[in-house]
Amino acid sequence: MLYVILFAGEQGAIAWSPNFIILIATIIRIPFLFRPPELSDDIYRYLWDGLQFLNGYNPYSSAPSSIHPQSAFLLELRQHVNHPELVTIYPPAAQLVFIAGSALHKSVFGIKAVLIAMDLLTCLMIIRMLKNMQLPVWRSVLYAWNPLTVIETAASGHIDTAGPMFLFFAFLLLMRNPAPDDPGKRSVFTLKTLLPPTAGLSFSFAVLVKLLPFIFLPGLALLAGKRGRLFFLSGFIAGIFILSVPFLPDLKNMLNTLGIYMQHWEFSGLAFRMLRKIVSSGDIARYILAIIFMLIAVLFYTLLRQRLKSSSSITACNVIATFYSLTLCFLFLTPTLHPWYVLYLVCFLPFTVSAAGLALSWSIFFAYYVVIPYFFLGKWIENDYVPALIWFAPLSVYLLTNAARIFASNLIRPHGK
């Protein structure tokens, strides 16, 4: 359906209002609110963490398996928490979301309700950004109505949906930032002076919901401009500090779990599985892929900075295009590729209108092939075919769409040219 919308929209045949888009987005999310998660059990860890804080305990202090539940409800909840032998891996801003959801209702319903509300706010901010960039509002449905967004937010209740909300809020603030070469704004304090540090604060929330958005820091710093860059980074650092302090000193335990994740976790990573077979070492494969990604990030941000030097300014569209490409590279190179990770790519689709990215947003569902034998047999069974199939779909769409463009351009090219 989204491909039909994409084609019709590009032909100028769609003129939906923002209210209609948000209404449909709400309607397709609500039914999942009242159902238990079926494709992932991460939300039970969210609820456990939130309830631990509300009961006066630091969620980073102890692993669930080492805690003696004070009620039958917590005892049953702990049975649903995955990896109970490990301290929570979720950063402080994510914990605030868990606390809010647990305070709203001491069940997965509360967590889901908060995440759905945040997701709908993301949809509204995408619409606002599209208007500011003079792009068609209908494009927002590529995120708002995307099945991956709906399932990972409303059905599974993954925290990854909260990160884009804070990221786009930072974008909106920086887009309203006075131009760095505007002499009228240099010595006069206005409310707009607070935009860069507030954007940095919002971005710190995005990073401490899930660490992946940290790769966007250089791009947002460039978008802030010369005058706003220092204030943006100051707001970011202050936000990291403010969010972390309430959970000290036990916050360091999260880093231990994160280290275990980075060293041992793997799932549906095509590049990792291929490279590991070549070098015969998972550790070496991880190091190589990390170095490759860092080099790619340096290249992308160098090109973005050169654009800034040549044109004296960069637009949000330039930055988002860079973020989209960088996220796509990250998803391909990461050893662990869960479906909800792709949400960070889908949120950029309304601005890039990438058919290949849209293909990845549905082909990633093949990663759930492990769920059936896991639920029925308790075995986590993987193979190399499914990761290859996940990436075959977007690659095929990319090649076909580019071939179609070349064919169409040759048809309309005047004879003799």
| 148-158 pLDDT per residue, tens | 999 999 999 99
Q: Tokens standing for 106?
A: 């001491």
**Above 90 in pLDDT, residue 13?**
no
For residue 187, the model assigns a pLDDT of: 46
Assign 183 a pLDDT band (cuts: 50, 70, 90): very low
> Cα(336)–Cα(87) distance, rounded to whole angstroms?
19
For residues 18-22, average pLDDT:
95
Which of the two residues, 290 and 183, has the higher pLDDT score? 290
For residues 396-414, average pLDDT:
76
For residue 414, the model assigns a pLDDT of: 58
Which tens digits make up the pLDDT trace of 387-404? 999 999 999 988 888 887
> Cα(34)–Cα(27) distance, rounded to whole angstroms?
13
The count of other CB atoms within 10 Å of the CB of residue 140 is 28
pTM for this prediction: 0.91
Q: Per mean pLDDT, which range of 118-132, 215-229, 263-277, 360-374 is the poorest?
A: 360-374
- Measuring CA to CA, how many Å separate 377 from each of 202, 370, 373? 43, 11, 5
> Cα(392)–Cα(274) distance, rounded to whole angstroms?
15
- Residue 128 sits at the vertex; the CA angle it makes with 123 and 129, to the nearest 5 degrees, is 95
For residue 127, the model assigns a pLDDT of: 96
Q: Tell whether the torsion through CA atoms of 95, 100, 103 and 107 is positive or negative.
A: negative
- When the pLDDT of each residue in the chain is averaged and rounded to a whole number, the result is 89
Contacts of 329-333 with C-beta under 8 Å, sequence gap 24+, read 329/293, 329/296, 330/212, 330/215, 330/293, 331/360, 332/270, 332/271, 332/391, 333/269, 333/271, 333/272, 333/289, 333/292, 333/293
- Measuring CA to CA, how many Å separate 88 from each of 44, 173, 232? 12, 32, 29
Q: Tell whether the torsion through CA atoms of 338, 340, 341 and 345 is positive or negative.
A: positive
Give the dihedral of Cα atoms 34, 206, 214, 343; nearest 10 deg: 30
Q: Per mean pLDDT, which range of 191-200, 241-250, 364-373 is the poorest?
A: 364-373
Q: Tokens standing for 173?
A: 């603030």
Distance, first Cα to last Cα, the chain: 38
CB 282 within 8 A of CB 310: no
Q: Per mean pLDDT, which range of 162-176, 180-194, 375-389 is the poorest?
A: 180-194
For residues 246-266, average pLDDT:
92
> 183: cis peptide before it, omega within 30°?
no
Amino acid at 214: F
